[in-house]
A and B are shown apart, each in its own frame.
Chain A
């Protein structure tokens, strides 16, 4: 008899585990559009849970702010948001893309969040004619695929790679640079451009893996090569640990990484002392002074990386709706001719869907925290 309660407890735990896992990956719609003017929704596709969930939530927060402002002014014709959580995984994004294009209420897509899922879903959205504006996918090859419905309000990796090298060579006077990436779509792309721009200044190269935590061999290679700068193409969970382990092994040069690491968590991961002086570049200007207050009023938390871009992307669609562009084709034409300065900078698209004015900023870790307010523009 003593066995049964145990089994039941086990079953409950197992079932709870499954249920919890399940709700981590499902999609949810927050609010449907309403009013007498058709029921329009915007879709968001990206990671709102999972390892990169924090970034996706920054994006959703920006969208919600733009929608709440619009809906306040247009209470007779509100626009809703449907959130599709891919967890940043291209394999999970693909079926969600099919769901999005089959939903007639969706007028446009803010996203996809990351480069991998953008490459995996671009064809589906293009075939269905659904216009999309990504706040954050920076891989340079996406806009070379001829998907005329695909846009982004952020500078791509080829621009960032060249700017990063310029910073290392001109500002930091680095003669020898060691290049490390983590083998992801985004990182391989960015690393490729950095490598091209470095030419003979690259003294060595290594690739690590996502979720790796011990970088002993890489650190040994770097210290043996004794470069002036290390460039890491990848995300902060690995970037932060790599920076820490390099410093602990006595590496004194510059540590630089791209927008994947441009997050305050880089500093907590590396530890304040090891992170000090690290440069993290991003194709994003700091948010205007009042943006965070407005954002916080709607979302109850601070704005983060990509919040401004997704706010701007959402406003482009909303401006289109206001101008009466209610078909996918009309909306796409409208986006192509859009020209305005948003909170993330001036917005105008070239014929490929890339943003015309691409500016890259260098953010510095100083005084034990990432200084997000005073970046240097890399010219």
Chain B
């Protein structure tokens, strides 16, 4: 019986399905990839400045998803409602502001508690890496045990709508119904698709300008290029690192709201999978490179969908990781090359 299921999951290895619904797979893939790209920014910026992988970034994102759902519960109560994007846009903006603030705050906490003390001591990078992993687990468990934590303060009943069944799926009560805006080669592009892709692109564009044109951005680039010389030139590296975490957190918060707009549910371990994907996107595009994160994220989202179409959905990760290895074999520094300081930023 197991064998027959295996055969059947390989059997539909056909390109027909991909080509007959090509734009449906591609555009939903782009919307997914846009979210990967926003989260990937957090990985890529911290790597650019510190040459460290911020393993806690997936939790920064996860806190943003909860913030989004909490705002929706706060405004609407727990009764499940479906409405159009137009009627939700105000709530969505509020959610995004709160989620960005929450994620930025969590990112700053991670920097303050898990990074700065160790960086100041000149700890080996491996130690800082482990500290970030510890922060990641702690943050996820705090979210997963929030009912008990609130119980210590006697707030469990009062905050029942926000903390009960902390390890279960937590849903936003507001579902946004996508509406078709126009037909694109047979795929009805929806307003939600457009908003997600558009918002992600706008955010990326703004960040790109910020890093290239502003004083603080120049500081980030200088620390990424040569931390010691930057220090000699009077750049406050602690401040630059803090800003880097802050920006990564803001982008993750925005990604979290867009994710909740598309998906609508979260849980305490929701960050893990998307964190792995976003990190992959960052490496694919060239870690340390902002535009690389965008290219990597969009490419990853699209490849996942194409891979699912051709081989079956359970093969999506195999397809994307084979692709990642293939890209790194040809271009070891990723598609657009490494470095926040040197190449592009």
Least distance between B6 CB and chain A CB atoms (Å): 10
Tell whether, in the assembled complex, residue B309 and residue A268 are in contact, meaning their CB atoms are under 8 Å apart: no
**Other-chain residue from A24, A191, A241, A274 in contact with B82 (beta carbon distance below 8 A):** A274
Chain B residues 141 to 156 lying within 8 A of chain A, measured CB to CB, are: 141-142, 144-145
Given A207-B313, A269-B171, answer yes or no on A3-B28 (Cβ-Cβ < 8 Å). Answer: no
Q: Is A324 an interface residue (CB 8 A)?
A: no
A321 surroundings in chain B (CB, below 8 A): none
Q: Is A146 an interface residue (CB 8 A)?
A: no
Q: Is A51 an interface residue (CB 8 A)?
A: yes
Which A-chain residue is minimally distant from B170 (CB atoms)? A268
Which B-chain residue is minimally distant from A248 (CB atoms)? B178
A215 surroundings in chain B (CB, below 8 A): 313
Tell whether, in the assembled complex, residue A10 and residue B29 are in contact, meaning their CB atoms are under 8 Å apart: no
A53 surroundings in chain B (CB, below 8 A): 167-168
Q: Is A9 an interface residue (CB 8 A)?
A: yes
Tell whether, in the assembled complex, residue B20 and residue A3 are in contact, meaning their CB atoms are under 8 Å apart: no
A183 to B137, CA, bound (A): 27
A3 surroundings in chain B (CB, below 8 A): 117, 120-121
Tell whether, in the assembled complex, residue B138 and residue A51 are in contact, meaning their CB atoms are under 8 Å apart: no
- Segment from B200-208, B262-270, B324-332 that makes contact with A: B262-270
Q: Is A357 an interface residue (CB 8 A)?
A: no
- Segment from B37-45, B108-116, B210-218 that makes contact with A: B108-116
Tell whether, in the assembled complex, residue A6 and residue B308 are in contact, meaning their CB atoms are under 8 Å apart: no
A89 surroundings in chain B (CB, below 8 A): none
- Segment from A12-20, A95-103, A344-352 that makes contact with B: A12-20
The number of residues on chain B lying at the interface, defined by a beta carbon within 8 Å of a beta carbon of chain A, is 64
Given A3-B120, A224-B20, answer yes or no on A265-B112 (Cβ-Cβ < 8 Å). Answer: no
**Other-chain residue from B12, B141, B267, B273 in contact with A21 (beta carbon distance below 8 A):** B141
Chain A residues 206 to 246 lying within 8 A of chain B, measured CB to CB, are: 206-209, 211-221, 223-224, 236-237, 240-241, 244
B269 surroundings in chain A (CB, below 8 A): 211
A13 surroundings in chain B (CB, below 8 A): 113, 134-135, 138
Tell whether, in the assembled complex, residue B175 and residue A273 are in contact, meaning their CB atoms are under 8 Å apart: yes
With most chain A CB atoms within 10 A of its CB, the pick from B9, B117, B269 is: B117
Least distance between A28 CB and chain B CB atoms (Å): 15
Tell whether, in the assembled complex, residue B312 and residue A216 are in contact, meaning their CB atoms are under 8 Å apart: no
A240 to B172, CA, bound (A): 13
Given A3-B120, A248-B178, answer yes or no on A213-B263 (Cβ-Cβ < 8 Å). Answer: yes
Given A209-B313, A237-B267, answer yes or no on A17-B167 (Cβ-Cβ < 8 Å). Answer: no
Q: Mark A267-294, 1 if CB is under 8 A from B, else 0.
A: 1110111100000000000000000000
Q: Is B236 an interface residue (CB 8 A)?
A: no
Tell whether, in the assembled complex, residue A206 and residue B80 are in contact, meaning their CB atoms are under 8 Å apart: no
A18 surroundings in chain B (CB, below 8 A): 137
Least distance between B271 CB and chain A CB atoms (Å): 11
A20 surroundings in chain B (CB, below 8 A): 141-142, 145
Tell whether, in the assembled complex, residue B167 and residue A51 are in contact, meaning their CB atoms are under 8 Å apart: yes
With most chain B CB atoms within 10 A of its CB, the pick from A215, A265, A268, A368 is: A268
Least distance between A157 CB and chain B CB atoms (Å): 11
With most chain A CB atoms within 10 A of its CB, the pick from B29, B135, B314 is: B314
**Other-chain residue from A17, A248, A272 in contact with B141 (beta carbon distance below 8 A):** A17
A347 to B168, CA, bound (A): 32
A274 surroundings in chain B (CB, below 8 A): 82, 175
**Other-chain residue from A217, A224, A248 in contact with B308 (beta carbon distance below 8 A):** A217
Tell whether, in the assembled complex, residue A214 and residue B80 are in contact, meaning their CB atoms are under 8 Å apart: no
Tell whether, in the assembled complex, residue A211 and residue B273 are in contact, meaning their CB atoms are under 8 Å apart: yes
Chain B residues 306 to 321 lying within 8 A of chain A, measured CB to CB, are: 308-309, 312-314, 316-317
**Other-chain residue from A17, A188, A207, A265 in contact with B142 (beta carbon distance below 8 A):** A17
A212 to B269, CA, bound (A): 12
Tell whether, in the assembled complex, residue B262 and residue A214 are in contact, meaning their CB atoms are under 8 Å apart: yes
Q: Is A192 an interface residue (CB 8 A)?
A: yes
A215 to B196, CA, bound (A): 16
B141 surroundings in chain A (CB, below 8 A): 17, 20-21, 24
Least distance between B134 CB and chain A CB atoms (Å): 4
B29 surroundings in chain A (CB, below 8 A): 216
Least distance between A237 CB and chain B CB atoms (Å): 5
Q: Is A91 an interface residue (CB 8 A)?
A: no
Q: Is A297 an interface residue (CB 8 A)?
A: no
Tell whether, in the assembled complex, residue A191 and residue B264 are in contact, meaning their CB atoms are under 8 Å apart: no
Tell whether, in the assembled complex, residue B169 and residue A265 are in contact, meaning their CB atoms are under 8 Å apart: yes
Tell whether, in the assembled complex, residue B5 and residue A271 are in contact, meaning their CB atoms are under 8 Å apart: no
**Other-chain residue from A207, A213, A241, A248 in contact with B314 (beta carbon distance below 8 A):** A207
Tell whether, in the assembled complex, residue A241 and residue B309 are in contact, meaning their CB atoms are under 8 Å apart: no
Tell whether, in the assembled complex, residue B117 and residue A7 are in contact, meaning their CB atoms are under 8 Å apart: yes
Given A188-B5, A268-B171, answer yes or no on A6-B265 (Cβ-Cβ < 8 Å). Answer: no
A269 to B81, CA, bound (A): 12
Least distance between A1 CB and chain B CB atoms (Å): 11
Q: Is A54 an interface residue (CB 8 A)?
A: yes
Q: Is B17 an interface residue (CB 8 A)?
A: yes
Contacts A205-B12, A209-B314, A224-B21 aside, 8 further interface pairs with beta carbons under 8 A come to A6-B117, A14-B134, A207-B9, A214-B32, A216-B32, A220-B25, A244-B175, A244-B264
What 8 A-B pairs come out closest when comparing CB atoms? A17-B138, A217-B308, A216-B28, A271-B175, A272-B80, A6-B117, A273-B82, A207-B314
> What are 15 residue pairs bridging A and B, where the CB atoms are less than 8 Å apart in the complex?
A14-B135, A17-B134, A17-B137, A24-B145, A204-B12, A205-B12, A206-B312, A213-B265, A214-B262, A216-B25, A237-B265, A265-B169, A271-B80, A271-B171, A272-B82
B residues with a Cβ closer than 8 A to A are 1-2, 4-5, 8-9, 12, 17, 20-21, 24-25, 28-29, 31-32, 79-82, 112-114, 116-117, 120-121, 131, 134-135, 137-138, 141-142, 144-145, 165, 167-169, 171, 173, 175, 177-178, 188, 262-265, 267, 269-270, 272-273, 304-305, 308-309, 312-314, 316-317
